[in-house]
Structure 1
Amino acid sequence: MAIPKAITFDCYGTIIDWDQAVQNYFKRILSQYDINDADVVALQKHWESIQFTYIQDHYRPYKEVLKHTMAMSFRDCGYPFSTDDCIAFSESMGSWEPFPDAKKALLELKKLTKIALITNTDDAIINETVKHLGVDFDEIITAEQAGVYKANHRGFHLAMERLGVDRSELLHVGFGFKYDVVPAHELGVQSCWVNRYGDIRPANVKETYLVGDMATLALLIKGMAHSTIPQTEGK
């Protein structure tokens, strides 16, 4: 197995701890209204379902997406909220924390190949996130630049163009099956599903590689790199 010439990553959920950040934020908002027993996991899943449909319609800035879809999900579930709550949620994303293994894995991978982001967000948000993360990516492709959100293929094409690779030389890594693994499969790009929580595969599509975290991904790619190094005869 040859090491890919470039690896593209989903950011939020793969590198940044999306689930925990969203659940914690929803919990804080509800606590302001003395609601402390809400099922924030179910609320998050409902919000994600709404968001997936919302962003397929036409391009809107991601802060607008965050504001509107939070309001829609809270309203559906009968929870109180204010416009200021939605604005604060949309402004918080750039400060969300990475998974503990993410930075080290990315820095190790950068020694072996090009690394890039294909992310469903705006330039301003991802710039804040990357500064907070402390990793220098070779390219960053946002929905703002592509004018569409994943699972649309345009961001993937833009990434391959900027990185100077074709689909056979690329590995795309993500936790979002519908957003990342499915479009990679449709494009004939190798994919790695980072399935931290042991989720059931949600579509009749098979990822190329399956790992439980970013540290394991780094080990996988190191193994590929090692297998391509010529071994000295007699050693």
Structure 2
Amino acid sequence: MAAPLPVTPRLITFDTYGTLIDWDSGLRAYIGKFLAAKGARLDVRTFYERWYYGHALPAVSGPFKIYRRLLEHTMAAALAEVGVPADPKELSALGDVMAEAEPFADAVAVLNELRHHVPLATISNSQRDIIQSSAKKLGDPFTYVFTGEVVEAYKPDPALFELVLDRAGVQPHEAVHVAQSQYVDLPRSVPMGIPTVWINRQGQQREPETPAPTAELPDLRGLPSLLGYPHRNGSQL
């Protein structure tokens, strides 16, 4: 059973991409242009899912590779499967696409609200130069920023969770983790005893093997109220 939400959280940790930053839209747009330039008539959404579930997702649990290289190599492998040749060097812009992706419409206001009540952190399957750009777009709300390259491991490995809890000096039950991924976040944060809010932006059905979160929201707008933080005068969420 998922841990209950703390009465007063001492730390809120966030997944960034897919939770705060809409990198899927930017990446699909880039892939669409890339496929068109190659003369490949493929459905972009179908190919994107093939790449993500068949290559990128398994790769984060494999031998550590810096995230820009992970993107390049997994995308090249997915393209090869559908007969589209591409050297990883041709895909070097994928990390930049991630860094340049825009926040979801609700993200900046919610983070700005929460930062006035409790320290915020992001633990991200990305790398430092990518997350720095994204954090700036989000208004630099984070007290702690950690990426996979710091621990040479990606979620669902526990290392990023353990690192941020240690640096913040809090116990798992004193924190709240907020994330959209039922594949790399929930399978680790829930068993660790971290109260977890699933931001289910895509309206997914939870897989049978994915542990149930403490709470589920369709977006971030209800998060401050869920955590017991009244809106400050004049704030707009």
Q: Provide the TM-score with structure 1 as the length reference.
A: 0.89
State how far apart, in whole Å, the 2-side matches of 1:140 and 1:203 are. 31
Equivalent residue number for residue 35 of structure 2:
30
Equivalent residue number for residue 115 of structure 1:
120
Equivalent residue number for residue 45 of structure 1:
49
Kindly tell me the number of residue pairs found equivalent between the two proteins.
Answer: 223
Equivalent residue number for residue 144 of structure 1:
149
Deviations, residues 119-144 of structure 1 (Å, cap 9, x unaligned): 00111111121123322301011101
Q: Supply the RMSD in Å over aligned alpha carbons.
A: 1.6
The answer to whether the 8 Å contact 1:30/1:80 transfers is: no
The answer to whether the 8 Å contact 1:172/1:192 transfers is: yes
Equivalent residue number for residue 219 of structure 1:
225
SS at match of 1:215: coil
| Shift in alpha-carbon separation, 1:129–1:153, aligned structure 2, 3 A | same
The answer to whether the 8 Å contact 1:106/1:135 transfers is: no
Q: Structure 1: any 5+ residue segments left out of the alignment?
A: 227-235
Q: Which has the larger radius of gyration?
A: 1
Query: Displacement of 1:91 after TM fit?
Result: 2.9
SS at match of 1:183: helix
Equivalent residue number for residue 92 of structure 1:
97
The answer to whether the 8 Å contact 2:76/2:85 transfers is: no
State how far apart, in whole Å, the 2-side matches of 1:80 and 1:3 are. 53
Q: Does 1:19 align with 2:4?
A: no
Higher relative contact order (CA 8 A, sep 6+): 2
State how far apart, in whole Å, the 2-side matches of 1:159 and 1:3 are. 18
Query: Displacement of 1:84 after TM fit?
Result: 4.2
Query: Displacement of 1:82 after TM fit?
Result: 4.5
Identity of aligned residues (%): 30
Query: Displacement of 1:80 after TM fit?
Result: 4.5
1:45 partner letter: E
Query: Displacement of 1:34 after TM fit?
Result: 3.7
Q: Does 1:130 align with 2:130?
A: no
Query: Displacement of 1:110 after TM fit?
Result: 0.7
SS at match of 1:8: strand
State how far apart, in whole Å, the 2-side matches of 1:27 and 1:85 are. 14
State how far apart, in whole Å, the 1-side matches of 2:98 and 2:167 are. 26
State how far apart, in whole Å, the 1-side matches of 2:38 and 2:152 are. 37
Deviations, residues 72-96 of structure 1 (Å, cap 9, x unaligned): 1111122344444311223322111
State how far apart, in whole Å, the 1-side matches of 2:129 and 2:102 are. 16
- Return 75-84 or 52-61, whichever deviates more: 75-84
Q: Structure 2: any 5+ residue segments left out of the alignment?
A: 1-5, 231-237
2:191 partner letter: E
State how far apart, in whole Å, the 2-side matches of 1:212 and 1:129 are. 22
